[in-house]
């Protein structure tokens, strides 16, 4: 049977942790989205049209929102778990009557919540520039939850594997950031040469952002159902790897 109270307590602790520093965890990412939007839309909005009848600003906003959701979901779990490792208080979580699955669910749910909150606040902030249509709200929710769940799991994996803060920063700067920037956040992959189109389709972040954009605009570079299948499979893969690491106690119990 699930230890619902213990799992909720760990989840609530993680939520209150990031809410206590709202300027850092919520407001700063929203400001970054607005700055990206100001720069790119002011320079390219009159010169670039990705989809007929849709301005570049409207095309850009969903990509920026989803990119912020993914990066903050990753940052939430990677910073929290690694800080607990450094301080030595992670032992109290390991000694608690919580299973590996319950620990995983609590941390992942907290990461998803932070990612979604950042996404909602970024969406509201961008309304000053353009009001987005909403083609399918369920698609938006599914891709936001699955995408932030994947990055929450990757955050846990990187934090458990890391020995110092430099390892977390390296994973974020050399893996997460390039994959999110090269996923069609700022452009459609259909304008790329054939080789780079094929390379982009190997990037799971592309399917997260493309599917999320479809939820707003009803248009995408690939089938929304195919994107959902890819993202769902990637979520299962990353979650299984995270649970395996927790089960083995890799760099946690040694």
- Span 227-247, pLDDT tens digits: 999 999 999 999 999 999 999
Confidence band of 254 (pLDDT split at 50, 70, 90): low
Query: Average pLDDT over the chain, rounded to whole?
Result: 92
Contacts of the segment 221-226: beta carbons below 8 A, 24+ positions apart: 221/184, 221/188, 221/189, 221/190, 224/139
Whether residue 253 lies inside any domain: the answer is: no
- For residue range 140-198, list pLDDT tens digits in order: 999 999 999 999 999 999 999 999 999 999 999 999 989 988 888 888 888 888 888 99
Closest CA to 108 of 70, 50, 156: 156
User: Structure tokens of 227?
Assistant: 């994107």
Per DSSP, 133 falls in state P
Domain residues for the domain of 132 are 4-248
Token pair recorded at residue 73: 């979901």
In degrees, to the nearest 5, what angle opens at C-alpha 172 toward C-alphas 171 and 173?
A: 95
Does residue 199 lie within any of the structural domains?
Answer: yes
User: How many distinct structural domains can be found in the chain?
Assistant: 1
Asked, for residue 239, whether it belongs to a domain, the answer is yes
Residue 104: inside a domain: yes
Asked if the structure places residue 33 within a domain, the reply is yes
The answer to whether position 254 is within a domain reads: no
Contact 148, 116 (CB under 8 A): yes
- Entry pTM: 0.93
Q: What is the pLDDT averaged over residues 49-65?
A: 88
Assign 213 a pLDDT band (cuts: 50, 70, 90): very high
Residue 103 placed within a domain:
yes
| Measured distance CA(89)–CA(117) in Å, rounded | 27
User: Could you tell me the pLDDT band of residue 1, with boundaries at 50, 70 and 90?
Assistant: confident
């Amino acid at each position: 049977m699930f230890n619902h109270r213990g799992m909720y307590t760990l989840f609530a602790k993680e939520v209150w942790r990031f809410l206590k520093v709202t300027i850092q965890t919520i407001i700063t990412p929203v400001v970054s989205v607005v700055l990206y939007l100001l720069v790119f839309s002011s320079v390219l909005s009159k010169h670039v049209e990705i989809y007929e009848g849709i301005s570049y600003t409207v095309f850009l906003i969903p990509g920026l929102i989803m990119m912020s959701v993914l990066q903050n979901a990753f940052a939430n779990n990677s910073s929290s778990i690694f800080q607990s490792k450094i301080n030595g208080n992670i032992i109290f979580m390991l000694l608690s009557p919580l299973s590996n699955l319950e620990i995983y669910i609590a941390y992942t749910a907290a990461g998803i919540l932070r990612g979604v909150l950042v996404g909602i606040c970024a969406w509201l902030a961008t309304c000053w520039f353009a009001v987005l249509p909403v083609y399918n709200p369920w698609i938006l929710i599914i891709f936001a939850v699955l995408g932030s769940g994947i990055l929450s799991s990757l955050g846990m994996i990187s934090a458990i594997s890391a020995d110092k803060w430099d390892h977390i920063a390296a994973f974020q700067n050399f893996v997460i950031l390039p994959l999110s920037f090269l996923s069609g956040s700022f452009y459609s992959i259909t304008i790329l040469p054939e080789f780079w189109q094929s390379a982009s389709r190997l990037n799971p972040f592309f399917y997260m952002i493309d599917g999320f954009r479809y939820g707003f605009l009803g248009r995408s570079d690939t089938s929304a159902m195919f994107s959902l299948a890819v993202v769902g499979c990637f979520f299962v893969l990353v979650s299984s790897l995270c649970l395996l690491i927790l089960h083995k106690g890799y760099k946690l119990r040694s």
